[in-house]
Amino acid sequence: MIEINIDPVLVRLGPLMITWHGFFTAVGVLAGIWLATRFAVERGYTEDDIMSIALWSVVGGIIGARLFHVIDAWEYYAADPIAILRVNEGGLAIWGTIVGGPIGGALYAWRNGLSIPRLLDICGLGLILGMAIGRLGDVVNGEHHGSLAVGLPFSVNYTHPQTLGEIGAHVHLAVGYELIWDMLVFAVCAWLLYKRILPRDSMVFTTMIALYSAGRFVVQFYRLDQPFVFGLSQAQFLAFAVGAGALWILVFQWTRASRASADDDLDDDFEDEEDPVPPATTANVGTSGTPSGS
């Protein structure tokens, strides 16, 4: 059993508080931007483009994260609609970040004539890395309660009086499982992008979404969340739906790429089979100046 006895608040300066959640969220955003910038510059983009895309993505991610959370907890916000605007009190859904962030960045890319599929691959790596780092704050705070795990050697027990976790309960560290999975997804997708294995732009991003969704669907079985539909939580239902959609898109993209490659090979075969015209020589040119046998 692992005991976590850490104050969720990192620094208190009068009324100002910096929490571990906020700290690691900021570190994750900065690390994601730094990584995306490095990959983008190697592929001919400017740092200014990536910084602008990052700004649009962060704004889109915050809006999406808040919107998804409000939908998930609509009964609470329906009774107090003004609370929707109190973002400082918490309440952000990671799926909203995954949806809203890329939409915000894509809007900037579209307005400036940049390749959206290629930028999705690059910035997607920054997104998954930032998500993994941000989960460290959830681990410290005890957010997103895990299910009971009595007798499990790697279960966790939150003991600090201010923790957001369940004091005294031995639970699964579900957000820790997700953190590990996020890093594995990041490693796989970084390798795919670096080696340029996949035949079409945006396939690395789609692979990232498919892998993340599969892991998140499984991890949700170890979290205590309210049922949303069909007995699944909102995050689990979205993981299934988005993962299935991403897998279909991957198969479609791969099929299109394979068909295009086959058509190119067929065109090359036709070109190779064409008989070259022999050069004019005294052996095949008649006295009239025209090739004999014409």
Percent of the chain scored above 70 by pLDDT? 87
Kind and range of the H or E element at 268? helix 234-273
pLDDT digits (tens, 9 = 90+) for 36-51: 999 899 888 888 988 9
Residues 196 and 201: their CA atoms lie apart, in Å, by: 9
> Comparing 14 with 108, which gets the higher pLDDT?
108
pLDDT digits (tens, 9 = 90+) for 250-272: 999 988 888 776 665 555 555 55
pLDDT digits (tens, 9 = 90+) for 117-157: 999 999 999 999 999 999 998 899 888 888 888 778 888 88
Residues 68 and 223: their CA atoms lie apart, in Å, by: 18
Instruction: Say which residue the tokens 């939908």 belong to.
Output: 71
Between vectors from CA 20 to CA 19 and to CA 24, what angle results, nearest 5°?
120
Question: How do the domains of the chain map onto residue ranges?
Answer: 2-258
Is the pTM value of this prediction over 0.85? no
pLDDT band for position 287 (cuts 50, 70, 90) = very low
Residues 27 and 277: their CA atoms lie apart, in Å, by: 67
Joined tokens for residue 106: 């894509």
Q: Name the nearest CA neighbour of 163 among 22, 24, 39, 19.
A: 19
